[in-house]
């Protein structure tokens, strides 16, 4: 797993190269002259990507689904398969993506050697004034052989994480959002705070008794200033909660931009 920034990762699972919610643009916005601007450059240039086989989208907000990035990827990696929640496929096809499928919660599918499942989330969608909640939002579970990865997408804390874990786990790695949570009176329904994210991780692993084996990777922080909390606060709070829970220190993987972490599945 290599962190590009925010919720964008390059996941290399066996021989398959996968991108999650890829955003390389300068701003998370409908225009590149206004809106939330990157606080730091992506972990590596988009031109340095290896051949991409699979692109996973969680929903259509600008900090997760980016026009310029999609247009570049469909030109540079025309054979890539794209998977998205209901209502998002048209955006991708209009920008040249050839192989696109969209899915409801709990749908399962095969993409080459990768088995995917669309997981429920508590969020919302929309890119303008007229399309609020007209497309779906989700997380994704990936499996290849004994290796299982959970990409949470965007979500508030909800009571469904244990069911996700029971049906789709146990997970070797969980990519969990920890930022964009203040003020809580406004953000709580749609974005977990760090403590809720660690709780959700524990919920995911409870059905299999595997919380001490799974790896937690914080995401959705430090790239765009979207809410009121200090930019560097989310991983600090998440790490403190992790320690308080007595979970193995080596399994909390706080990645720097461009850093790669290796995980062996099925251990």
The answer to the question of residue 259 being in a domain is no
Number of Cβ atoms within 10 Å of the Cβ of 130: 7
Q: What are phi and psi of 187, to 5 degrees?
A: -95, -20
The answer to the question of residue 156 being in a domain is yes
Q: What is the CATH number of the domain that holds 149?
A: 3.60.15.10
CA distances from 24 to 47, 75, 155, 263 (A): 10, 15, 22, 25
Question: In total, how many domains does the chain have?
Answer: 1
The answer to the question of residue 264 being in a domain is no
Task: Please work out, in degrees rounded to the nearest 5, the angle formed at the alpha carbon of residue 116 by the alpha carbons of 217 and 257.
Answer: 25
Alpha-carbon 35 to chain mean position: 21
pLDDT category of residue 266 using cuts at 50, 70 and 90 = low
Give yes or no for residue 152 having a pLDDT over 90. Answer: yes
Residue 131's pLDDT is 86
The answer to the question of residue 256 being in a domain is no
The answer to the question of residue 219 being in a domain is yes
Tens-place pLDDT, residues 7-63: 999 999 999 999 999 999 999 877 777 778 999 999 999 999 999 999 999 999 999
Residue 267's pLDDT is 57
The answer to the question of residue 37 being in a domain is yes
Strands 99-103 and 81-85, by their bridges, are parallel
Going by C-beta distance under 8 Å and a sequence separation of 6 or more, which residues neighbour residue 201?
174, 176, 211, 214, 216
Give yes or no for residue 211 having a pLDDT over 60. Answer: yes
Give yes or no for residue 180 having a pLDDT over 80. Answer: yes
pLDDT category of residue 128 using cuts at 50, 70 and 90 = confident
Domain that holds residue 17: 2-251
Sign of torsion, CA 69 71 77 82?
positive
The answer to the question of residue 191 being in a domain is yes
The answer to the question of residue 260 being in a domain is no
Residue 36's pLDDT is 86
């Amino acid at each position: 797993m290599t962190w590009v920034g925010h919720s964008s990762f390059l996941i290399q699972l066996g021989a398959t190269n996968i991108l999650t919610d890829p955003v390389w643009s300068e701003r998370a916005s409908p225009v590149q002259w206004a809106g939330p601007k990157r606080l730091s450059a992506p972990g590596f240039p988009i031109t340095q990507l290896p051949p991409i086989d699979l692109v996973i989208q969680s929903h259509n907000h600008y900090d997760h689904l980016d026009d310029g990035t999609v247009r570049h990827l469909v030109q540079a990696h025309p054979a890539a398969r794209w998977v998205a929640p209901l209502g998002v496929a048209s955006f991708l096809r209009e920008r040249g993506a050839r192989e696109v499928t969209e899915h409801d919660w709990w749908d399962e599918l095969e993409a080459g050697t990768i088995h995917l499942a669309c997981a429920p989330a508590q969020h919302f969608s929309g890119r303008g004034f007229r399309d609020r909640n007209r497309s779906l939002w989700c997380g994704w579970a990936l499996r290849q052989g004994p290796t299982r990865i959970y990409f949470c997408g965007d979500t508030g804390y909800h009571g469904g994480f244990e069911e996700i874990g029971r049906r789709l786990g146990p997970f070797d790695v969980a990519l969990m959002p920890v930022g964009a949570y203040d003020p809580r009176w406004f953000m709580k329904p749609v974005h977990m705070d760090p403590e809720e994210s660690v709780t959700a991780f524990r919920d995911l692993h409870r059905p299999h008794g595997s919380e001490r084996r799974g790896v937690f990777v914080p995401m959705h922080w430090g790239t765009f200033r979207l809410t009121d909390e200090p930019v560097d606060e989310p991983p600090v709070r998440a790490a403190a909660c992790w320690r308080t829970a007595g979970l193995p220190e080596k399994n909390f993987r706080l990645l720097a931009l461009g850093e790669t972490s290796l995980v062996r599945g099925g251990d």
